[in-house]
Copies of this chain bind each other. A is one copy, B any other.
Amino acid sequence: MREAIGIFDSGVGGLTVLKALRKRLPEQDYLYLGDTARLPYGSKSETTIRRYALNAAEHLFRNDIRLLVVACNTASAFALPALTEISPVPVIGVIEPGVRAALAGGARKVAVIGTEGTIRSGAYQKALHRAAPEVSVTAAPCPLFVPLAEEGWGDHPITDQIAEIYLRPLLDTGLEAIILGCTHYPLLRPSLARVAGPGVSLIDSATAVTDAVVQRFRGPSAGRGGVGQVAIHLTDASDRFRRIARAILGSDPEHLEVVDL
């Protein structure tokens, strides 16, 4: 499948990006790679995350993708410069689109939540500061959110309580927007929206990166028509990952292949 849009994530959470892209650019082919055998990235060191991200990207390059979308926030935070350096095709990460989406709404008090790695990297914080030095930025790692999302507890009283613990100190500063800096977090939207309240926008990095990709395909080269193909490559395909993939996509993935990087 030459000329597909390549999407890479540490796991299956990035399928939210694939789903959003297919809706808006249905004529494109997609090759999704989830590094499920080595996930999660968020708790691991910068060196390991960068090595894994480069491995994964090389697999996609060997498959002749036309564009690399790094849906994984932790990989975007730590490996985007390294990926861009070796990539024969354009690379789009989630950080810059997420930041643009947060600022486009006019928020002046913004928080970022994500894995320990993403928050520790400071990538979102630095990008927000570069784009809008006057905006106040806070951040918090939320290590239990990915397991809660994978447990299917996105709309659950326990998730509300945990979100209250993680987010209360941020919310008390008078927040206007929270960047959901992890592909899994949109699955917790019901609980997060209850805890954050109606005055706080929840910025989904999957939607934001989708906008950035769609932007690229506007113009003469767009809309060749028809419906493109989708291939999903996973480095491990346990029942658990299949179940989560099904929950995100709304159906069983066609063309699922287990690959070794």
Please give, as numbers and ranges, the residues of chain B lying within 8 Å of A240 by CB-CB distance.
43, 116
Task: Flag if B158 contacts A148 (CB, 8 Å).
Answer: no
Interface string of A133-174 (1 = CB under 8 A from B): 000000000011011101100000010011001000000000
A56 to chain B, nearest CB (A): 14
Q: Does A107 contact B (CB under 8 A)?
A: no
A38 touches B (CB below 8 Å) = yes
Report how many copies the assembly holds.
2
By a CB distance below 8 angstroms, the chain B residues around A126 are none
| Chain B positions within 8 Å of A236 at CB level | 44-45, 47-48
Give the docked Cα–Cα distance between A47 and B237 (Å): 10
Instruction: Specify which chain B residues have a CB less than 8 angstroms from the CB of A117 in the assembled complex.
Output: 238
- Which residues 44-95 in A have Cβ within 8 Å of B in the complex? 44-45, 47-48
Among B45, B150, B241, contact of A143 (Cβ-Cβ < 8 Å): B150
A20 CB–B CB distance under 8 Å? no
Q: Does A36 contact B (CB under 8 A)?
A: yes
Which residue of A37, A120, A148 has the most chain B CB atoms within 10 A of its CB atom? A37
A1-45 interface code vs B (CB 8 A; 1 in, 0 out): 000000000000000000000000000000000001110000111
The smallest beta-carbon distance between A226 and chain B, in angstroms, is 35
Chain B residue nearest in CB terms to A45:
B238
Least CB distance, A49 to chain B, in whole angstroms:
9
Residue of B36, B143, B161 touching A158 (CB-CB under 8 A): B161
- Closest B residue to A145 by beta carbon equals B147
Instruction: Specify which of B44, B143, B150, B165 is in contact with A238 (CB 8 Å cutoff).
Output: B44
Contact (A44, B48) CB under 8 Å given A143-B150, A158-B158, A240-B116: no
Specify the chain B residue showing the minimal Cβ separation from A161.
Answer: B158
Q: List 6 A-B contacts (CB under 8 A).
A: A37-B44, A44-B236, A45-B236, A48-B238, A144-B147, A161-B161
Given contacts A37-B48, A44-B236, A144-B148, 16 further A-B contacts (CB under 8 A): A43-B240, A44-B238, A45-B236, A45-B237, A45-B238, A45-B239, A47-B236, A48-B236, A48-B238, A116-B240, A143-B150, A144-B144, A158-B158, A158-B162, A158-B165, A161-B161
